């Protein structure tokens, strides 16, 4: 699918800073920006990097075409020399980052953007917009996948968020461990498997529940999923098996005491000979509700609102900070660390950073190690950042299934306590080396 220009997915002050830097002669200074978060959302034990693939698309499509330039001119956002500079904008620098699907911790340099100050500063907002949203959804999805214990998860939150955010959320949820989505746009754009059968309105539009079930089975086959809680669950289950036979694919429960109802429905299905018919539950689930159903005879979960809102944490509070810059525009000028000094926990650490994850003898992560100097020999093969963009060209696109598999493996290398839903600090500490 074609992607329009992303140049206006930015804040006004990015362009006014550009104008000022062009006038002061600092626009061409070699610079390093890093994306990181100072802390994880309250109670979270690890973060999930998601949205990297979308960031690469956004950087490629960050172009100031005639319509965009006309808008900026009409609004008087920047002056004519700056508009002339923007007309030929193409990011020509380098981007390194944690591979998508990897876990991260406070201080992790999740993304490192290198180039001239002018070309790097313009990308701040669009990069943060994507990474903050997608990583929040992926982290919630990962927690839900852990709670589900291998049972399939269906993403079904499109009607609970912005229509475009819904597509991004479905992608992030797939990275975090969900298996399917109800959103067809996500299936079309990213190849995520899509599923869906019917809602209560389909039952209500028919003269009887029997007519509705028969119509659905006739249209979609015996392997379909019948929604059984429109009226009386017990009667609906009996009728569903009568109409579809013991080969009925699944029944869905969308209300009530899911733990109790699931046990009763499983017993009833087995007594009716539908021993292979699965039970799908929905109804405002989150990771805690999913965990509470661990002992229930549930085969799959459908999650909407709580997933697409990050299960209470819709952002990761990531920031994009200048950490090093050259003293002059001379390409050979060495980089110098820079950092904001601030009270209230908003200070940052200057210098171009590397990151590595130290593991114990069993291969389990025990620390996130971040430094600005030489990488210790024992961590040389444990470095986390990979090259994503080189000289303005994307060099690290990969299939979404690869990203999804990477996350499952990365989560599996964390201490077991990472999967606990009780509130706690980051599951491993962050250590800094000069």
Give the pLDDT score at 382.
Answer: 97
Domain that holds residue 228: 197-279
Candidates 277, 264, 304, 283; CA nearest to 200 is 283
337 shares a domain with 233 = no
**Quick check: is 360 in a domain?**
yes
**Quick check: is 176 in a domain?**
no
Q: What is the CATH number of the domain that holds 46?
A: 3.20.140.10
Candidates 55, 120, 57; CA nearest to 93 is 120
Give the pLDDT score at 346.
Answer: 72
pLDDT tens-digit map of 329-355: 998 999 999 998 876 667 778 999 999
27 shares a domain with 127 = yes
Among residues 219, 254, 279, which one ends one of the domains? 279
Q: What is the CATH number of the domain that holds 269?
A: 3.20.20.70
Among residues 217, 252, 279, which one ends one of the domains? 279
Burial string for 50-65 (b: 16+ CB within 10 Å, else e) reads: bbbbbbbebbbebbbe
Torsion of CA 376, 377, 381, 383, to 10 degrees: 10
396 shares a domain with 351 = yes
**φ and ψ at residue 238, rounded to 5 degrees:** -60, -45
132 shares a domain with 48 = yes
Distances (CA, A) of 300 to 90, 194, 227, 275, 281: 46, 14, 14, 16, 7
**pTM score of the predicted model:** 0.95
Candidates 167, 169, 136; CA nearest to 315 is 136
Tens-level pLDDT at each residue, the chain (434 residues)? 455 799 999 999 999 999 999 999 999 999 999 999 999 999 899 999 999 999 999 999 999 999 999 999 999 999 999 999 999 999 999 999 999 999 999 999 999 999 999 999 999 999 999 999 999 999 999 999 999 999 999 999 999 999 999 999 999 999 999 999 999 999 999 999 999 999 999 999 999 999 999 999 999 999 999 999 999 999 999 999 999 999 999 999 999 999 999 999 999 999 999 999 999 999 999 999 999 999 999 999 999 999 999 999 999 999 999 999 999 999 899 999 999 887 666 777 899 999 999 999 999 999 999 999 999 999 999 999 999 999 999 999 999 999 999 999 999 999 999 999 988 899 999 999 97
267 shares a domain with 329 = no
325 shares a domain with 246 = no
**Quick check: is 143 in a domain?**
no
**Quick check: is 178 in a domain?**
no
322 shares a domain with 274 = no
Give the pLDDT score at 64.
Answer: 97
Give the pLDDT score at 204.
Answer: 98
321 shares a domain with 268 = no
349 shares a domain with 250 = no
**Quick check: is 243 in a domain?**
yes
126 shares a domain with 18 = yes
Q: Which residues, 6 or more positions from 397, have their beta carbon under 8 angstroms from its beta carbon?
A: 53, 56
**Quick check: is 305 in a domain?**
no
Dihedral of alpha carbons 148, 149, 151, 154, sign: positive
**Quick check: is 354 in a domain?**
yes
355 shares a domain with 262 = no
**Quick check: is 79 in a domain?**
no
Domain count across the chain: 2
274 shares a domain with 325 = no
């Amino acid at each position: 699918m074609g992607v329009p220009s992303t140049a206006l997915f930015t804040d006004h002050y990015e362009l006014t800073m550009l104008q000022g830097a062009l006038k002061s002669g600092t626009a061409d200074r070699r610079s390093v920006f890093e994306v990181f978060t100072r802390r994880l959302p309250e109670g979270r034990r690890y973060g999930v990097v998601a949205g990297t693939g979308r960031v690469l698309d956004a950087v490629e499509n960050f172009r100031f075409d005639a319509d965009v330039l006309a808008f900026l001119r009409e609004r008087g956002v920047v002056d004519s020399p700056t508009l002339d500079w923007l007309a030929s904008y193409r990011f020509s620098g380098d981007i390194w980052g944690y591979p998508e699907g990897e876990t991260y911790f406070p201080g992790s340099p999740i993304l490192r953007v290198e180039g001239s100050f002018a070309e790097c500063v313009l990308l701040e907002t669009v990069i943060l917009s994507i990474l903050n949203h997608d990583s929040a959804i992926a982290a919630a999805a990962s927690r839900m996948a852990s709670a589900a214990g291998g049972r399939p998860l269906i993403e079904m939150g499109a009607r609970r968020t912005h229509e475009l955010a819904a597509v991004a959320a479905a992608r992030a949820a797939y990275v975090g461990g969900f298996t399917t989505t109800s959103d067809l746009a996500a299936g079309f754009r990213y190849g995520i498997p899509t599923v869906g059968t019917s809602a209560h309105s389909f039952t209500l539009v028919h003269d009887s529940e029997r007519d509705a079930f028969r119509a659905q089975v006739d249209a979609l086959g015996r392997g379909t999923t019948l929604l059984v809680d429109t009226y009386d669950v017990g009667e609906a289950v009996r009728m569903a098996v009568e109409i579809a036979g013991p080969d009925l694919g699944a029944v869905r429960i969308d209300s009530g005491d899911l733990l109790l109802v699931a046990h009763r429905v499983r017993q009833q299905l087995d007594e009716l000979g539908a021993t292979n018919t699965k039970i799908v539950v929905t109804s405002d689930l989150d990771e805690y509700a999913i965990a509470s159903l661990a002992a229930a005879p549930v085969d799959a979960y459908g999650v909407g609102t709580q997933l697409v809102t990050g299960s209470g944490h819709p952002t990761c509070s990531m920031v994009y900070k200048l950490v090093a810059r050259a003293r002059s525009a001379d390409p050979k000028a060495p980089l110098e660390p820079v950092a904001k000094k601030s009270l209230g926990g908003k200070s940052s650490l200057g210098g171009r950073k590397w990151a590595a994850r130290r593991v114990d003898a069993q291969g389990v992560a025990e620390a996130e190690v971040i430094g600005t100097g030489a990488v210790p020999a024992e961590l040389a093969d444990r470095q986390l950042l990979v090259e994503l963009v080189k000289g303005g060209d994307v060099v690290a696109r990969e299939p979404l299934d690869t990203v999804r598999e990477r996350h499952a493996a990365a989560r599996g290398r964390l201490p077991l306590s990472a999967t606990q839903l009780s509130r706690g600090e980051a599951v491993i500490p962050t250590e800094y080396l000069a």
